Structure 1
Amino acid sequence: MDYFAGPDVSLRTCALCIVDTKGAIIFERELACDVDEITDCLKGFAHPVVRIGFEAGTMRQHLFYGLTNDGFDVVGMEARQVSVGLSAMRSKADKNDVHGVAQILRTGWFSPVHMKSREAHKIRALLNCCKALLNKTIDLANEVRGFLKFFGQRLPKTVQHGSFDDLVRPLIAADEVMSQAMLPLLDARVAIFQYYLAVDRRVKRGPQ
């Protein structure tokens, strides 16, 4: 008899269901969404688990690689197919989703999803960080531009990020109120822009 485990993963918890080859529910438990706790639970089960499968998603990447490293055969299932499969089942209660995930895994009615490597996710995190920092730099520059318009100061449409601070500070230096209003924005923008440059250099160096 083979056994299949279908975790239903949320942000902090993981509902675990194990079914046998015939589809009978053999084991159920709610665990913390933690690799070590899930591993201990599965290794404590009376029989070897043939395969573990769950919907592909953000929280699943960590569990996929953690459980794989612990010696389990783990597969990511295409989320849309799992959703369709669950919606076709009689019971619509959320608590029964974990049963459905285990049954879909057992029947093989799913498409395996390629899980990106940890290295790929690290590069993606750097790129997303770089983009977020640049967007914040632009947002603060636009805030300063908006304030200056109230006082009749119009900056050129295009100003290099590295030149923005040197262009604006002389315009507000003689006005105490304008300086108090805009210097914090300029200081914050410079700091964020420097972080952006540092992350951008790291991205351009490529994998280490």
Structure 2
Amino acid sequence: MDLANEARGLLKVFGIRLPKTVKHGSFDNVVRPMIEMDDVLAHALIPLLDARLVLYQHYLELDRRVKRAATHDEVYMRFMTVPGVGPIAALTFKAVVDDPTRFKRSRTVAEHFSLKPRRHQSGERDNPGRISKAGDQSVRATLYAAANALLMRTMAGSQIKFWGMRLMRTKGRRRAVVTVARKLAVLLHRKWIDGTAFRQDQVGGKA
């Protein structure tokens, strides 16, 4: 993406504006014909396009490997029945947790990855703050991305999505996504322990 943005910036210098949305897979096919007929543009941009194309091809190969690994494992497939959870979130969660029996209760998994808000207590005040960010950053990031996908991109209806949308209306988007991410951690651990798939009428255990 950085290389694509660099190419966009250089094209603007020469008075060429690309469409706002160009899919990653078609970026090279859109830009390369525009510059190959101009020696100055070609000299400036073809190395960037070549480097971006190699990185994109490697990304596609890694993406295929991740998806292939996820479809050959029963636990990963069970995780991916949970709305918003894709191969990367499933693989990351399983790799970092490693052994689900390390956690006696599913709710402690969310706390382990610092998806539980810090509390600020003083006298009669007890205000929940931001998450502490003390746990594994990779799991926290993937669960946050999964929760965001569940709320913003998943089309299928489910109780957890309806619950998350209600939270968004009352608490705001950011806090709702963190709360849903915490719920996903609880659900994934529970699915791992009890060996069941997610049901659309399920919200999950206490998070």
Range class of TM-score, shorter chain: 0.3 to 0.5
| Structure with more of its chain in strand, by fraction | 1
Normalising by structure 2, report the TM-score. Answer: 0.33
Normalising by structure 1, we get a TM-score of 0.33
Higher relative contact order (CA 8 A, sep 6+): 2
Which structure features the higher share of helix residues? Answer: 2
